[in-house]
Structure 1
Amino acid sequence: MTSSQTPTRSGESSEPVRILATSPVALIEIDNPPVNATSQAVRAGLLSAIQEIDRNPQTEAVVIACAGRTFVAGADIREFGQPPREPHLPDVINAIEACLKPVVAAVHGSALGGGCEIALACHARVAEPGATFGLPEVRLGLVPGAGGTQRLPRLVGMEAAIDLVSTGRTVKAAEALRLGLVDRLSSGDLRAEAMDLAQEMIGVQPARTGERPVAAMDAHAASAKVAEVRKKARGAEAPCKAAELVLLAADLPLLEGMARERETFLELRSSEQSAALRHAFFAEREVTRVPGLEKVEPRSIQKVGVVGAGTMGSGIAVAFADAGFDVKVVETSESAFAAGQARITDIYDKQVSSGRLTSAVRDERLSSLSYEVGTPSLADRDLVVEAVFEDMEVKRSLFRDLDGVLAPGAVLATNTSYLDIGLIADATARPADVLGLHFFSPANVMKLVEIVKTDATAPEVIATGLAVAKRLRKVPVVCRVCDGFVGNRILARYRQQAEYLLEEGALPQEVDAAMEAFGFPMGPFAVSDLAGLDIAWARRKRLAPTRDPHERYVDVADRLCEAGRFGRKTGAGWYRYTAGKREPDPFVTGLVEEASQRRKVLRRTISVDEIQARIRAAIVNEACKILDERIVERPLDVDVVMMHGYGYPAWRGGPLFEADRIGLKVILDQVNERAPQDGPGWEPAAGLVRRAASGARFYP
């Protein structure tokens, strides 16, 4: 663009959409901080601007761009749940596509949801190399509502379009270019290059996306693709509906396809699943706003130490390296040092071989990691995270050593899954600097981190944990100390109920299948095999001296461990594993049936409904207790833990949101109807009974 084409402002600068007038190419700028969301004012302004461009004889082409750090990054969340106001986004986007003059989108940052649909309707798209595109509506239980399912396949083809709209995943500009979603990548000045492209298009009939033909998929291939989407969705409705809408693009004209899309969008918007996913969306953001910490400043953290490079420690080290921290990994011996370094290198090598990472990025991240033997090398660290063996005395001894090594103000964190962090902190002279950072395996992948505070933990140390988690791009939940904190405490309780079901007549594969049908990615016994049965076994042995002798206790898991069956890592646990494939094992069936005989329990057929109802109630029961004990302050804390750490289906909104929607009394009634009345059945916890009786809700 020449200097004579530099845009000049027209209209009030306070408007969220304005025309920066040039000739022959004008520029429409959207300026609606922080993410240029498609609010009613933006929709109205954009429609008015397009209409003005169409009327203005001096303008022969137009570029749509955005101020600030991003292109249009989605809908205005403040309008969620409100009646839609005109102009509706589909009408605005149709006007863009129908414009008689070439329209080019200049995309930087993120073009998501409605922002991506705006770009799709333009006649060409130029993007910065760092830009991202996506239609993430399925993550809110919706489908694109302004033509995304109809225009995207016309640009990228059926297969790619189904993938993008059914998963909601985003693509970087380079992939968008390969797919055909983007026409050019900018090499410097994005707006100038977009305006140059617009000028090239003057006098040429605009290539309207909605008029492009799209090749239909073979009927068998289409059916198989929808079946694949349905399987991955695990009960979520929106992904399947989105895939089916994409397939319509080959058979229907644009406006008819958009009408079907809009009908589906409105239907889903009022659905229970969309309400649950919107709750999940807001809960994930609200969980970081911890009451009492609003004005507390975190400590500065850049140099991080990780003690222990086993499975957890290596993942934690990778998570910190990925986030740009200076990471030092410490082991107790040269052999452990070498094994830990190899483990971390292997994590990165697998990411390169799968195409998720380039060799250059791998090498850069590995260069941010250093390795030492012994804790004295950690003297310059701002934060040290221990990931050593789950034993109280081992951890207390380590923390005594760290206390003598680290500078004042350094934060000491333990990754313990169950142990009393207060007792670990008491081994130091600085308990105010100690907290739990409980990562979930694999730590470089799983989003959840439980930030566990003791009675002595300083507020700024808790704030530091939150700030670190944010930089790691994790979802943090702050909680107090108890055995298992939030997630593992609930897991232990519903795994116990699953074992009761075994003793009464179910088999591991039947319980797992029922819970996978409920929406979990894996059932409780498959999860145990993945995590390692020895971990829970060590906890049971630790708690055995204090266990109530009258408590019902199923010992099948102990017998598996005594037989050396610790799960996937030994090739056998609740299942046997052949070439990595999970298979039911007659050995386990024999142990289960023998346990029933010893307990004199008459085995019976247990329905899927009963399995789901009893495990759901076990989860809600323990959540009630956690809230009553103020281990967490808010029901949403429990929901976020269960969704991000344990696979509770997000389309259900988490166990406590779902309990509100169903009703606690209904949950109790479902269990009481299905559990046997004259045998070792279900005994609901006092917290759930009390809440059900009072009609209390978890959410207002």
Structure 2
Amino acid sequence: MTQINEVTTLTREGDIAVVTLNSPPVNALSANVREGLFEGFKAAIADDAAKAIVLICDGRTFIAGADITEFGQAPKGPGLHEVQAMIEDAPKPVVAAVHGTALGGGLEVALVCHYRVVVPSARMGLPEVNLGLLPGAGGTQRLPRVTGVEKALEMMTSGRHASAKEAHESGLADAIVEEGKLLEGAIAFAQKIVADNAPLTKIRERDDKVAGARGKPEIFEAFRKSIARKTRGFLAPEYNIQCIEAAVNLPFDEGMKVEAKLFRELVTGEQSAAQRHVFFAERQVAKIPDVPKDTPQIDVKSVGIIGAGTMGGGIAMNFVNAGIPVTIVEQAQERLDAGLAVVRKNYENSAKRGRFPMEEVDKRMAMFTGTTNLEDLADKDLIIEAIFENMDVKKDVFGKLDKIVKQGSILATNTSALDIDEIATATTRPEAVIGLHFFSPANVMKLLEIVRADKTSNEVIATSMSLAKKIGKVGVLVGVCPGFVGNRLLAQRQREANKLILEGAMPWDVDRVLFDFGLPMGPFAMSDLAGLDLGWNKETSKGETLRDLLCERDRRGQKTGAGFYDYDENRVPSPSKEVEGIIRQYAEERQIQQREISDEEILERCLLPMVNEGYKILEEGKAIRASDIDIVWIMGYGWPRYRGGPMWYGENSVGLEKVLERMQHYEEKHGADFKPAAMLEDLVAESKKKAG
């Protein structure tokens, strides 16, 4: 065995040279790895006794991608293109032996090998689009040449990983070898290649799978239309498509120039910087400074849910999907039956969409136990209360649970705004009480705000964070305050949106500006979707608010065909002259002077108070990091990933100095709602001081 460098070795098995990488945890393409590959292949090529070369990786995976911590740094050692040229131009066959994942740059290395063998559990993909990028080492030119245009388009614009079976069927993998015997299988494959005198197949020289799409722009236009809604606002999917078009219509070297140009535009652009920020923020969010990693956790083998409504049923589905049985409690049998019927229908709809076999529906439903008896929760490891937002009712429930449920269980509330410290006072074990704030629909939305009360124990926090991951959620630890983090920021936007329409902007103006910014829906379209009559009562309505006036006219949202908007039979909205008249009259009666309001003012007044509120949250210690606030809004409220989250947007897109200046401007015009956070002022002052 020859030690090439600290991460690479070269051995020979008979007449097959084996280059082995071992750079934990995922063999990322760091400078060390690139150097090891370059020197390892150089030595293997120089070894006349070696008739072929196998590239394999130790550890749990093949090369899982680029080392993105090196982005923006001065390059060291051989570049990836140099390494690829060494491999691709080798005068003897090179076989990539793939286990785990070959992703991004890892797959681009495998694609310059002459052959690829995989184990059944291996996965392959080019997920750069998820970082606002495109494959920058020939992936855009080689993948369509080996899989065909349609599959390359789908894989590269989604970032999806292909299974070993799919890779083999598409030509991306040349053989599947037995699990656990990858090296033996790869060596045997290489020996057969040598014995058969098989050609050194360079993907760059292939044309058969792209020729059929040449001169057919309609293929690409149809694909663009098919993904337009999902990729709205993102640059990287379109740039990936343009690269594949180049692979189809240009010689390989010319296509590589297109790839290099578009890659540079993306990697130096704001969208990719934002998406890379989100990538790291998602991983950072699980790190809690004052809860040690080795904190013991509660073994949650059974869950009780109180409330079988929309939230309770959705929450319960998360645990059943993860294989944890649920007992669900309702006050009345008919409400319990109705709730479980909705759960069954949700599962049946998923089965019809092909997500799992129809027989799986009964298996999952068998993991639900319905009851009207709170005592049936006595032995459960985790109880989640998911009833309506009323402090007295919630405290009553927690008082009862305290007497019923075994010691050591977690007592959680799904409240979206109420004081969890006060709820905890209803028990004799406040250390067991925590907030688990799911977002609707709870079985779909990725965010879980985990709300730490003053006396919540580390064990309960650690268990909750771990459970979030187990049920497929992104758990973000926050503190107790009105609205916690997500809704506290939302309140800032809602307040300004409601003020703006009285000052002269129309609901559709506000919605358009925020939709164009990248949010999935504006506040007034969202209100119409949810229903304007949520919490409204016809008998007690006094016509004091715009909502009162709209509901009194039966403009209660999409369900009545009219709300802030008029709706046709397909629920397609259009601006309402009636609503415009109601708003103008309402403003006139309150002596609010209406005026023309620019899109810029709408955007600033809706978004900058959110950034400011984020700094207040950080001042108060109700979020651990600014990036945690970003994750809350990306995962729970549809903030576009390519804008990095509200805190990243404020700091990097707008600039904190401008945020402060605009807050001061609006404070002067509109009052204390715009008072800058002390932390914002301090950060700007510190930045100016550093700048000299």
**Contact kept in structure 1, 2:561 and 2:571, CA below 8 Å:** no
The reply to whether residue 212 of structure 1 matches residue 212 of structure 2 is no
**Contact kept in structure 2, 1:519 and 1:649, CA below 8 Å:** yes
Residues 81 and 530 of structure 1, relative CA distance in 2, 3 Å threshold:
farther
Q: Secondary structure at the match of 2:249?
A: coil
Deviation, 1:523, is 1.7
Residues 572 and 425 of structure 1, relative CA distance in 2, 3 Å threshold:
farther
- Distance in 2, matches of 1:73 and 1:32, equals 11
Aligned equivalent of 1:547: none
**Contact kept in structure 1, 2:63 and 2:102, CA below 8 Å:** yes
Aligned equivalent of 2:321: 322
Aligned equivalent of 1:556: 546
- Distance in 2, matches of 1:502 and 1:336, equals 40
Aligned equivalent of 1:666: 658
- What is the 5 A alignment of 1:463-478? 463-478=462-477
1:495-529 Cα offsets, whole Å, 9 max, x none, are 11111121122222221111111111222223334
- Distance in 1, matches of 2:268 and 2:392, equals 54
Aligned equivalent of 1:597: 588
Letter in 1 for 2:626: P
1:37-64 Cα offsets, whole Å, 9 max, x none, are 1111111212222233333333333332
**Contact kept in structure 1, 2:330 and 2:371, CA below 8 Å:** yes
- Distance in 2, matches of 1:397 and 1:366, equals 30
**Contact kept in structure 2, 1:502 and 1:508, CA below 8 Å:** yes
- Distance in 2, matches of 1:504 and 1:394, equals 39
The reply to whether residue 66 of structure 1 matches residue 57 of structure 2 is yes
The reply to whether residue 143 of structure 1 matches residue 134 of structure 2 is yes
**Contact kept in structure 1, 2:10 and 2:19, CA below 8 Å:** yes
Among 151, 168, 171, the residue aligned to 2:162: 171
- Distance in 1, matches of 2:534 and 2:186, equals 57
**Contact kept in structure 2, 1:660 and 1:698, CA below 8 Å:** no
**Contact kept in structure 2, 1:620 and 1:688, CA below 8 Å:** no
Deviation, 1:436, is 0.3
Q: TM-score, normalised by structure 2?
A: 0.89
The reply to whether residue 98 of structure 1 matches residue 89 of structure 2 is yes
Q: Secondary structure at the match of 2:72?
A: coil
- What is the 5 A alignment of 1:194-205? 194-202=186-194, 203-205=197-199
Aligned equivalent of 1:695: 684
- What is the 5 A alignment of 1:221-300? 221-223=219-221, 225-226=223-224, 232-295=230-293, 296-300=295-299
Residues 12 and 509 of structure 1, relative CA distance in 2, 3 Å threshold:
same
Q: Secondary structure at the match of 1:275?
A: helix
Letter in 1 for 2:23: N
1:141-189 Cα offsets, whole Å, 9 max, x none, are 2221111111111122223322322232333334434444334444543
Aligned equivalent of 1:582: 572
**Contact kept in structure 2, 1:229 and 1:240, CA below 8 Å:** no
Deviation, 1:84, is 2.0
- Distance in 2, matches of 1:282 and 1:59, equals 42
- Distance in 2, matches of 1:479 and 1:638, equals 9
Letter in 2 for 1:640: I
- What is the 5 A alignment of 1:295-314? 295=293, 296-314=295-313
Deviation, 1:627, is 2.4
Residues 696 and 303 of structure 1, relative CA distance in 2, 3 Å threshold:
farther
Q: Which runs of 5+ in 1 are unaligned?
A: 1-9, 545-552
Q: Secondary structure at the match of 1:509?
A: helix
Letter in 1 for 2:383: V
CA RMSD after TM alignment:
3.1
- Distance in 1, matches of 2:354 and 2:175, equals 23
1:263-289 Cα offsets, whole Å, 9 max, x none, are 332332222222222222222211221
**Contact kept in structure 2, 1:143 and 1:265, CA below 8 Å:** yes
Deviation, 1:368, is 3.6
- Distance in 2, matches of 1:435 and 1:480, equals 10
1:542-573 Cα offsets, whole Å, 9 max, x none, are xx9xxxxxxxx992234444556554556554
1:84-125 Cα offsets, whole Å, 9 max, x none, are 223111222233233333333332222211112122223333
Among 17, 32, 40, the residue aligned to 2:31: 40
- Distance in 1, matches of 2:433 and 2:556, equals 32
**Contact kept in structure 1, 2:566 and 2:575, CA below 8 Å:** yes
- Distance in 2, matches of 1:55 and 1:288, equals 48
Judge which range, 372-381 or 147-156, deviates more.
372-381
Deviation, 1:14, is 7.8
Letter in 2 for 1:100: P
Residues 685 and 677 of structure 1, relative CA distance in 2, 3 Å threshold:
closer
Aligned equivalent of 1:87: 78
Judge which range, 175-184 or 433-442, deviates more.
175-184
Aligned equivalent of 2:629: 638
- Distance in 1, matches of 2:168 and 2:525, equals 40
Letter in 2 for 1:584: S
Aligned equivalent of 1:614: 605
Residues 286 and 531 of structure 1, relative CA distance in 2, 3 Å threshold:
farther
Deviation, 1:450, is 0.8
Q: Which runs of 5+ in 2 are unaligned?
A: none
1:189-238 Cα offsets, whole Å, 9 max, x none, are 34433333333322111222111111336224434544665654333322
Equivalences, count: 677
1:316-360 Cα offsets, whole Å, 9 max, x none, are 122222223233333333222222222222222222222333446
Judge which range, 135-144 or 684-693, deviates more.
684-693
Q: TM-score, normalised by structure 1?
A: 0.88
- Distance in 1, matches of 2:590 and 2:646, equals 32
Among 617, 631, 634, the residue aligned to 1:626: 617
Deviation, 1:686, is 2.0
**Contact kept in structure 2, 1:229 and 1:239, CA below 8 Å:** no
Letter in 1 for 2:277: H
- Distance in 2, matches of 1:423 and 1:516, equals 38
Aligned equivalent of 1:131: 122
Judge which range, 526-535 or 320-329, deviates more.
526-535
- What is the 5 A alignment of 1:472-511? 472-511=471-510
Deviation, 1:694, is 6.3
Deviation, 1:438, is 0.5
Q: Secondary structure at the match of 1:409?
A: coil
